[in-house]
Chains A and B, each alone.
Chain A
Amino acid sequence: MTTSPGIADFISRRAAPIPRFYGEALLDRARRDPRILCLCADLRASTETDIFREALPERFFDVGIAEANMLGIAGGLARCGFIPFVHTFSAFATRRCFDQVAMQTAYPRLPVKIAGFLPGLTTFLGVSHQAIDDVAMMRTLPNMTVIEPCGPEQMAAAVDAALAVDGPVYLRMKRPEGEVQPFTPRPLPLGRAERLREGRDVLVVAAGIMVPKALEAATLLAAEGIEARVLNMASLKPIDADAILEGARHCGRVVTAENHLVTGGLGSVVAEILAEAGVPTRLRRVGLRDTFAEGASPAWLQEKYGLTAEAIVAAARELAG
């Protein structure tokens, strides 16, 4: 086979590789625990599993573009004592093979760790690749744990949290873009909200990419004299109901912010908890509202569909007014 000169230029245009905080953490844990296996459905680089394949090829399996089969294989491996991590985009790990997730991981409570990338509106690849309903599906499954780290600083902790659960876990993860500022790794305690900012006027409950936006919103609100308490809800299930209820009672107003439909995800969880506890509070939910998006740049999409600090500010201002 001959290769045209210069063809490599067209294979990858990326100047520098995206850091692999998740992939490195998984590989590190796998070196210490021989039960960990890595499965992938033809998305090695995009799910940061290429480095696993290079380092531990005998424990890496690319099953091809066949997510349903991947979940079934993972179930079989888990039943024989292994801890398989399966990797694909979030939309394909949930919507495409929900029945297999339910029957081969959740019902039997197997230690299959489902690692999904491209949450919500973080990809230009269009509706097929945009997981806007995955949290709703996964959190409603009995026995399933749902974790969404808020950024690179929680990636390693997300892997540890997944391993700490003796059962199926869904990891909803966003890879970093461009240059990553130096950071200090942070823990991700299951079932515990992380209070990132203290305030008495409004409680902002956020997850994933909406966490830094919530902090940005809190700064903007402070300039208007509105003090926001900000919670990072990386542990979506189990969820820290006490932190939500205590924060709601303390602030009297609640804003949720999620990179997802407001139905079924974080906004719904918070509404359910508040309503069942009978806590009188005003609530606004920031997120997609009964709509699909489209293929476009993530920044443009997040602006268009209101996944912004400004949207959080507007919701908080409305409640405070």
Chain B
Amino acid sequence: MSAGAERQPAPRIRDIPRLRAIAHRLRRQVVTMAARKGQGYVQQGLGAADLFTALYFAEMRLDPTDPSWPGRDRFLLSTAHNTAIFYATLAERGFFPAERLPDYVEDGSPLEINASERMGPMVEATCGSLGQGLSVGVGMALAARIAGSPARTYVVLGDGEMQEGQVWEAAMAAGSLRLANLCLVLDLNELQAGGHIDGVIAMAPIDDKWRAFGWHVIRVDGNDMGALLDALDAARARAEGPTCIVARTLTGKGAPCIEGVMAHYMSTPPALAAQVLEELGETAP
């Protein structure tokens, strides 16, 4: 339970072009993974590639050689279906060899469509049932506080997921407990299974909702690497309570043929995958 020695296994990358290059590689990987079986959340993965890059390569203290290191920062993917980008990120960060990525959604593989802790300790909780990740994050942030650990907890939550009542139970608890070591990144792609979020349940005003529950809110363009880094810096510097980074992301970001297309389940047959890869290009824009 003790915090353990301070360590930063890999230097935080602060170089924006380098981070953009990583995000680009992840995007290509997402499309390649999903194309193999025609399954996987490509739209959401491309939209969130910059968030994942910022968190895993610039922000979080993790050790791929010792993934259950007690002093590590915790990451919870509450939108547990956004796995193509999640697994691509874990592989790129060195948690497992990229050669395993072709196993994605293969029968018998732990690389399931909804992330399961069967993968190993880098899946900190099994969250396929939406709305549960933030509660677990509150528990982890509370544990770090009790243990006197500097570990921080990061939760990626989907916008449609905010319709789950438990999210607000957790939001209320985090605000009440003033958990400054908890940072929520809201992946605001405005897309859920039934289409545009506001077409299902009116969600606005989102920022005010979080503020009302005791959170500091920072709204950023979730595909702007510099803005994401600044927001994560600000969240880390804040001692008063939890921070919610409302990150507006664009579904399909990087491939104009699917950018902004509001399709939660979009299959990626070979021809479409090839077109998306071509539009993404071999190197970062």
List residues of A whose CB falls within 8 A of some B CB.
Answer: 35, 37, 58-59, 61, 63-64, 66, 68-69, 71-82, 84, 99-100, 103-104, 107-108
Contacts and interface: CB of A to CB of B under 8 A. Distances in A.
A100 B143 contact: no
B166 interface: yes
A71 B133 CA distance: 11
Nearest to A73: B139
A88 to B, nearest CB: 13
A103 B117 CA distance: 11
B158 interface: no
A79 B172 contact: no
Contact of A69 (B70, B127, B147, B170): B170
A79 B139 contact: yes
Interface string B168-187: 01101100110000000000
A33 to B, nearest CB: 12
B136 A104 contact: yes
**Interface range on chain B (Cβ under 8 Å from partner):** 20 to 34
The A interface is mostly helix, strand or loop, or mixed, namely: helix
A82 B134 CA distance: 18
A59 B136 CA distance: 17
Nearest to A72: B135
Contacts of A75: 125, 135-136, 139
A79 B136 contact: yes
**Which of A35, A75, A80, A100 gathers the greatest number of chain B CB atoms within 10 Å?**
A80
B202 interface: no
Contacts of B30: none
A72 B117 contact: no
Interface in B81-122: 117
B143 A68 contact: no
B146 interface: yes
B65 to A, nearest CB: 20
A103 B132 CA distance: 9
Contacts of B146: 37, 58-59, 82
A100 B132 contact: yes
Given A72-B170, A76-B125, A81 B147 contact: yes
A66 B176 CA distance: 13
A213 B138 CA distance: 44
B204 interface: no
Given A72-B136, A79-B125, 11 more contacts: A58-B146, A68-B165, A72-B132, A73-B139, A75-B136, A76-B135, A77-B140, A80-B70, A81-B147, A100-B166, A103-B132
